Amino acid sequence: MTLSLQTTAEYRRILVDGVYYYGKHLVLSATTCNDQLLSLDAINQFLKTLVVRIDMVAFGEPLAARFGSGIEEGISAVQLIETSAITIHTNDQARDLYLDVFSCKGYNELDVLDFVRETFAPADMNYQVLMRK
């Protein structure tokens, strides 16, 4: 049996300025969101719709649960996608949202930002996009 290794270009398929990357990772924080942030159903629907908006393929249903108590209570959720995962963590009391979108398939981060604004109406958002080699 002979095994061959893939070349970098074969599995690193996001090309930016002549450099191939394995994945794109959006790291977003949104503060003082609306009441949608408190709803497990709304978080699940957000994940399902986001997958479609950024042209990904969901692997199963989202998994979401409420954890913690008092000032640490919030929701943690994950949606596996064929090319990686989307994760959410929230804080109920502060109404803050922490979102990560990682995929080895390219996507437009502005679509994610717009959808967060539409759904959760945060007072403020900041984000970084990391290109992972």
Q: How far apart are CA 106 and CA 101, in angstroms?
A: 11
DSSP 47-78: HHHHHHHTT--B-S--EEEEE--GGG-EEEEE
What tens digit of pLDDT does each residue of 69-120 get?
A: 999 999 999 999 999 999 999 999 999 999 999 999 999 999 999 999 999 9
Is domain 33-132 classified as CATH 3.60.90.10?
A: yes
What tens digit of pLDDT does each residue of 38-72 get?
A: 999 999 999 999 999 999 999 999 999 999 999 99
Q: Residues 11, 4: contact at Cβ < 8 Å?
A: no
**CA dihedral for 89, 102, 118, 41, sign (positive or negative):** negative
Q: Where are the domains of the chain?
A: 33-132
For residue 10, the model assigns a pLDDT of 73
Q: How far apart are CA 31 and CA 121, in angstroms?
A: 9
For residue 11, the model assigns a pLDDT of 82
